[in-house]
Structure 1
Amino acid sequence: MALTRVCSVDELPMNQAQRVVLEGVPIAVVKDSAGDVHAIGDTCTHGEISLSEGFVEGDTLECWAHGSAFSLKSGKPMNLPAYEPVPVYEIQIQDGDIFIDPTVTKEITA
């Protein structure tokens, strides 16, 4: 497992996404309004747009271009025009730092 430090939890602004590229994989790292940290694929499945430039609302990240919102927990689109999910990455928080392995995605059911 190749965990890579992304940033500290304190450096991550609340209700905003931050784009990181790990091993060539674009990932949007988000701290939601509850303070929970999420990591999802940064590319909208509808239009190849960077999701990290979008809007965090509740537990979703909305694509700024066409309005599809993706669940930060499951990666599933919550509305059209997107209908394919984005990957959700496992994160680890150690001593206040966020680590992600871009080769490990969460297994999401239903």
Structure 2
Amino acid sequence: MAFEKAIELDELKVGSAMQVELGGEPICLVRTDTDTVKAVHNICSHAFYELHEGWVDDNHIECGLHGSSFDLDSGRPDALPAVKPVPTYAVRVENGEVLVDASAPTNDATPSSF
């Protein structure tokens, strides 16, 4: 695993999402509570729309284009029209920094499968 700094934790408000690029991949960071940040690939598996432009609801992010919703832990869609998962990535929060390992997804999804 190759964790690298993505952002300072204070840059991301609870309940919001933002895009960063790590290892050449667009990553969507979502802060679900005070100490927890999740990371998924930023491109919706349905229509190539940036997920950080959507809405955060508990442990899900909804695509702002067609309303597909993805579980932030598994990457699986739980609302149509998406049927393919998005890649998820390991995240650590240390010393006020958000560290992400974008070298390999933690699930079976791959960005090139869209």
TM, length-normalised to structure 2: 0.87
Aligned to 2:17: 17
Residue aligned with 2:103, SS: strand
1: CA distance, partners of 2:94 / 2:39? 15
Kindly state the Cα deviation for residue 33 of structure 1 after the two structures are TM-superposed: 4.5
Counterpart amino acid of 2:46?
H
1: CA distance, partners of 2:52 / 2:39? 10
Residue aligned with 1:10, SS: helix
Task: Work out the number of aligned pairs and report it.
Answer: 108
Counterpart amino acid of 1:27?
I
Structure 1, unmatched stretches of 5+, are none
What RMSD over aligned residues (CA atoms) do the two structures have, in Å?
Answer: 1.5
Counterpart amino acid of 1:56?
V
Aligned to 1:3: 3
TM, length-normalised to structure 1: 0.90
Aligned to 1:73: 73
* Map 1:21-100 → 2, pairs under 5 A: 21-33=21-33, 35-100=35-100
2: CA distance, partners of 1:94 / 1:27? 19
Runs of 4+ residues over 4 Å off in structure 1: none
Contact 2:17 2:30 in 1 (8 A): yes
1: CA distance, partners of 2:30 / 2:12? 7
2: CA distance, partners of 1:41 / 1:92? 16
2: CA distance, partners of 1:68 / 1:105? 20
2: CA distance, partners of 1:58 / 1:35? 14
